[in-house]
Amino acid sequence: MDMTAMFKLTYGLFVVTAKDGDKDNGCITNTAAQVTSDPNRISLTVNKTNYTHDMIVKTGVFNVSILSEKAVFDTFKHFGFQSGRDVDKFADYTDCERAANGIFYITKGTNAYLSAKVVQAVDLGTHTMFIADVTDGQVLTQDASTTYTYYQTNIKPAPQPPKSKKTTWVCQICGYVYEGEELPADFVCPWCKHGPADFKKVEA
């Protein structure tokens, strides 16, 4: 099998937000998709290591902010490359407002948001797939939704040439650089949680 065939699947990119008591959090995902129109339902698959995952399991509600081609890399870094367990991602974040369900949505680099209420959770091992009723939604701009390919080509900064004389492995998803001759087979990118298949070797 040619694993790169998987790379031809197309995805959007989203900030998923949740709220548990006084705690707000959000993360980046490429996994929101409509599954039925009547009732209007979406699926959202979230890695169990994400703090947002646990908040959705507990509260059963979330918002999906749909990222547009105007999104900037800082938004991906802010919501994607740090954990809500370590930092309060909304402490000094001003590009957001609260939807009717009380959960933040993102107002910068987005074109719409959806509010959703979980009706079913499917355990997929490393991830949980939430099936959720869409309870609300607003269009924010007429900018085109970004695809994963557009992000890779136009939003993610070009990789910098390695500063060291060592062999490095560069994560093709987020740009994280691992230094070393061989990448461990069970390596997990600390920023985006992707595995060795998404790393490219850069010879010294």
CB of 196 to Fe ion, least distance (A): 11
Is residue 192 a contact residue for Fe ion (CB under 5 A)?
A: yes
Burial class (CB in 10 A: 0-12, 13-18, 19+), 5: exposed
Is residue 171 a contact residue for Fe ion (CB under 5 A)?
A: yes
Mapping DSSP to helix (H, G, I), strand (E, B) and coil, where does residue 52 land? helix
Size of interface with Fe ion, in residues (CB under 5 A): 7
Rounded distance between C-alpha atoms, residue 144 and residue 92, angstroms: 27
Nearer of residues 140 and 173 to Fe ion, judged by Cβ:
173
CB of 151 to Fe ion, least distance (A): 13
CB of 77 to Fe ion, least distance (A): 11
Pick from 81, 93, 148, 176: which binds Fe ion (CB under 5 A)? 176
Residue 118: both structure tokens together = 């979980």
Nearer of residues 66 and 189 to Fe ion, judged by Cβ:
189
Nearer of residues 105 and 150 to Fe ion, judged by Cβ:
150
**Kind and range of the H or E element at 138?**
strand 127-139
Pick from 191, 197, 199, 203: which binds Fe ion (CB under 5 A)? 191
Rounded distance between C-alpha atoms, residue 67 and residue 62, angstroms: 16
* Under 8 Å between Cβ of 19 and 102: yes
State how far Cα 51 lies from the chain centre: 12
CB of 146 to Fe ion, least distance (A): 18
Nearer of residues 38 and 86 to Fe ion, judged by Cβ:
86
Nearer of residues 80 and 113 to Fe ion, judged by Cβ:
80
**127-139 and 32-37: which strand pairing?**
unpaired
Rounded distance between C-alpha atoms, residue 32 and residue 43, angstroms: 6
Is residue 189 a contact residue for Fe ion (CB under 5 A)?
A: yes
**Residues near Fe ion, by CB under 5 A:** 171, 173-174, 176, 189, 191-192
